[in-house]
Amino acid sequence: MVQIRKARRSATKLRLLVSGPSGSGKTWGAIQIARGLGGRCVVIDTEEGSSDLYDHLHDFDVIDVRQPFTPEAYIEAIDAAEKAGYDVIIIDSATHCWSGPGGCLDLLEDIAKAQFRGNTWSAWSVITPRWRRFVDRIIHSPMHMICTGRSKTETTQSEGPNGKKRVEKLGMKLEARDGLEYEFTVCLDLIHNGHYATVSKDRTGLFSGDPKPITPETGKRIAEWLAGGHAVEPPQPTDDPEVVEKATAAIADATTLARLDTITAGIAERLTQGRITQPTAERLGRLASERRTTIAIEAEKTPATVA
């Protein structure tokens, strides 16, 4: 029977993604936010016990997950955390489920060889449902979920306060399957220099303005918002028709995965700038994923055609 209920923000749980390059403070930031949220916390640690280095920040427990980092290993850890009654679950990090030893990309090669004569495109029919079950487990958990994820590291040269050149690390693209960020309420991108956070997605209205450091106060503000506190209403974005038209055409014309990566990064930037809305960004993300599939199919067929 269909049931209709009153919308109630306090009925929701946090879904937060913290991404950044190595050394940007992802684990540290996740624990600080968990401290502000309050309640019992557990870290699902795939980083060789790195969370233990921060036991002075907060009282939390740890579930160590070792390779192979299969989606099922993560799901088993989440099940255990929920059964134990924790209020906040930190997954540190989700990247291993995608590109770590025994993760989805490793499994893709193994399954392609074992079941599909090396055809990786056909192997996606096995991998995609397993990845999706992992993501769904995060989305539907009755606990607050904070996930960290590595970004592909890129360096840039800038001028320091003393006028000398210095090299800085920048977090670029999240190392996970395309579209993961769309599943979260808030996505924070950490800047290596100073552990400051910028926001790439925010449904709370709490993170407008310049980059700010993550503190327990960040978690407290989120907890108040979830409990029904009033957030500052951000300006409602509208779609720029020219941006949408150009992005749609660019996706359709893309012939390489590298080109698609550039396009999806541009879509995320336009979303941050308020030039497109979240639903439009998600629609364009789906188009990019479909185009990625088409390119992969064409790449698989090319050797056979040439031969």
pLDDT at 38: 95
Asked if the model's pLDDT at residue 263 lies above 70, the reply is yes
pLDDT at 194: 65
Asked if the model's pLDDT at residue 55 lies above 90, the reply is yes
pLDDT at 245: 93
Domain extents for the chain? 11-226, 241-306
Q: What is the mean predicted confidence (pLDDT) over 190-204? A: 82
One-letter-per-residue 3-state SS of the chain: CCCCCCCCHHHCCCEEEEEECCCCCHHHHHHHHHHHHCCCEEEEECCCCHHHHHCCCCCCEEEECCCCCCHHHHHHHHHHHHHCCCCEEEEECCHHHHHCCCCHHHHHHHHHHHHCCCCHHHHHHHHHHHHHHHHHHHHCCCCEEEEEEEEEEEEEEEECCCCCEEEEEEEEEECCCCCHHHHCCEEEEEECCCCEEEEEEECCCCCCCCCEECCHHHHHHHHHHHCCCCCCCCCCCCCCHHHHHHHHHHHHHCCCHHHHHHHHHHHHHHHHHCCCCHHHHHHHHHHHHHHHHHHHHHHHHHHHHHC
Per-residue pLDDT tens over the stretch 166-185: 766 555 688 999 889 989 99
Asked if the model's pLDDT at residue 189 lies above 80, the reply is yes
What pTM was estimated for this model as a whole?
0.69
Mean per-residue pLDDT of the chain: 87
* Residue with the larger pLDDT of the pair 277 and 6: 277
pLDDT at 213: 84
Which architecture, in CATH terms, is 11-226?
A: 3-Layer(aba) Sandwich (3.40)
Per-residue pLDDT tens over the stretch 113-146: 999 999 999 999 999 999 999 999 999 999 999 9
Of 65, 68, 72, the residue nearest 93 (C-alpha)? 65
Read off the pLDDT band of 237 (50, 70, 90).
low
Read off the pLDDT band of 22 (50, 70, 90).
confident
Cβ neighbours around 112 below 10 Å, total: 19
pLDDT at 154: 64
Structural tokens at position 166: 């210095």
pLDDT at 251: 93
Structural tokens at position 1: 């029977």
Q: What is the mean predicted confidence (pLDDT) over 184-203? A: 85
Read off the pLDDT band of 231 (50, 70, 90).
very low
Query: Cis peptide before 68, with omega less than 30 degrees from 0?
Result: yes
Structural tokens at position 89: 């679950």
Q: In whole angstroms, what is the distance from residue 68 CA to residue 77 CA? A: 13
pLDDT at 89: 98
